[in-house]
């Protein structure tokens, strides 16, 4: 990449909380946020937003009459966007670009409106505008009074990191001086939970380990253990290296896989091999201190990504981790929550391990971290973050 990009703020809403202090405190604990909950008479493992934050979410919803009819994906996005803009100190935000995406989109409203249609053979007049994917970015722009470009997209589970790619491209091209990027996901609904169950990739209440239902990076697991989570995260991007940066985007990579099925990776995740190499550029593998894997907790997904890392790094592996054992898989928002974890580890100079895998050889310093994400069919993205130098 020709020029570095500064991350000047990141804000999130997840099972870990919605403040950097609380999120980090929860990462320091070996406890998982995943719980079994009853959905229409069936038990599902899931990772939900903490109940004590529901009042804050309701406050956002009640802050404007039009927000009362919006899906939670939009409300989550508005909440974290407000926090991020405040953190970054963006006082004049007319020319800020926005790229916020989602894998599932307005999941709750889709299901509600469809049920209404089945019951009444009619739909509410706001059905269409409230379920279009573009209404995430447009409502955030409305809330923040932003007049810049507003982009929305879905690249399934790599949606959030694809937003980062787009923001980097706009800034490098000189088409914007500030960009707000991220993703929002509220998929813990009956229909979506059953869709994941139909793929036979989710943890089963009858057989999953009671302490850690999601066994992401456990290469000895005998069955799939993916767990759905929810949340949103956005980051503020600015060109160059600015004094108040949290971390620096030093490289980006992307690639598609020649997968056999549209929901799987190739055996060695060629897409990840290409995206990691592209993100590193001329940086040697020995300079990478840590990789935050996509690792959804499935047998084939975890194994393929690990094989890709072995192909790129050989026997000199960086430290490997993931957060899905703790917060589940929030689909399009998952990559952004991994980005947040990377920033926190760089700031605190502390590695957050996966508690049920063998101890890894720790690096004395953490300077460069790779973050991976991939969507159905192998749409991989890798972001290379580096610590802000005080020199």
Same domain assignment for residues 273 and 138: no
391: pLDDT strictly greater than 60: no
pLDDT at site 185: 98
295 lies in which domain range? Answer: 251-386
pLDDT at site 1: 45
Same domain assignment for residues 234 and 293: no
- Residue 263 CB neighbour total at 10 angstroms: 15
Query: Mind listing the pLDDT tens digit for each residue in 315-358?
Result: 889 999 999 999 999 999 999 999 999 999 999 999 999 999 88
pLDDT at site 22: 98
pLDDT at site 276: 98
Q: Which of 51-60, 174-183, 263-272, 297-306 has the weakest average pLDDT?
A: 263-272
Same domain assignment for residues 211 and 107: yes
163: pLDDT strictly greater than 60: yes
pLDDT at site 358: 87
When pLDDT is averaged across residues 135-157 and rounded to a whole number, the result is 93
pLDDT at site 259: 62
Residue 142 domain flag? yes
Same domain assignment for residues 328 and 229: no
When pLDDT is averaged across residues 120-127 and rounded to a whole number, the result is 88
Residue 244 domain flag? no
Higher pLDDT, 121 or 10: 10
| CA gap 348, 269 in Å, rounded | 31
When pLDDT is averaged across residues 42-66 and rounded to a whole number, the result is 96
Residue after which a domain boundary falls, among 239, 264, 283: 239
The domain that holds 22 is classified in CATH as: 3.40.47.10
Same domain assignment for residues 233 and 258: no
pLDDT at site 364: 84
């Amino acid at each position: 990449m020709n020029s570095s990009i500064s991350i000047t703020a990141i804000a999130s809403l997840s099972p870990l909380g919605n403040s950097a202090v609380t999120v980090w405190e929860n990462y320091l604990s070996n406890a998982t946020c995943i719980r079994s909950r009853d959905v229409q008479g069936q038990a599902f493992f899931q990772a939900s937003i903490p109940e004590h934050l529901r009042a804050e979410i309701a406050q956002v919803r009640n802050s404007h009459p039009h927000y009362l009819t919006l899906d939670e994906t939009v409300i989550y996005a508005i909440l974290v966007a407000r926090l991020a803009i405040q953190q970054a100190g963006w006082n004049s935000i007319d020319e800020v670009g926005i790229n916020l995406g989602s894998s599932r989109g307005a999941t709750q409203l889709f299901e509600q409106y469809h049920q209404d249609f089945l019951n009444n053979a009619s739909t509410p007049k706001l059905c269409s505008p409230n379920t279009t994917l573009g209404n995430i970015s447009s409502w955030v722009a409305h809330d923040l009074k932003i007049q810049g470009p507003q982009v929305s997209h879905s690249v399934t589970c790599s949606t959030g990191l694809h937003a980062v790619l787009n923001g980097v491209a706009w800034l490098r091209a000189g088409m914007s001086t500030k960009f707000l990027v991220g993703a929002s996901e509220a998929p813990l609904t009956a229909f979506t939970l059953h869709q994941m169950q139909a793929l036979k990739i989710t943890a089963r209440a009858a057989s999953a380990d009671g302490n850690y239902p999601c066994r992401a990076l456990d290469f000895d697991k005998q069955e799939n253990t993916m767990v759905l989570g929810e949340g949103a995260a956005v980051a503020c991007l600015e060109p160059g290296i600015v004094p108040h940066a949290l971390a620096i985007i030093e490289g980006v990579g992307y690639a598609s896989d020649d997968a056999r099925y549209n929901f799987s990776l190739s055996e060695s995740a060629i897409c990840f091999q290409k995206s990691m190499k592209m993100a590193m550029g001329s940086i040697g593998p020995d300079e990478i201190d840590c990789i935050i894997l996509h690792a959804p907790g499935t047998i084939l997904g975890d194994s393929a990504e690990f094989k890709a890392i072995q192909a790129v790094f050989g026997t000199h592996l960086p430290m490997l981790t993931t957060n899905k054992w703790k917060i589940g898989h929030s689909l399009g928002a998952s990559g952004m929550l991994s980005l947040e974890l990377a920033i926190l580890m760089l700031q605190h100079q502390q590695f957050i391990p996966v508690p049920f895998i063998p101890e890894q050889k720790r690096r004395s310093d953490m300077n460069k971290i790779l973050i991976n994400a991939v969507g159905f069919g192998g749409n991989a993205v890798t972001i290379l973050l580096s610590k802000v130098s005080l020199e």
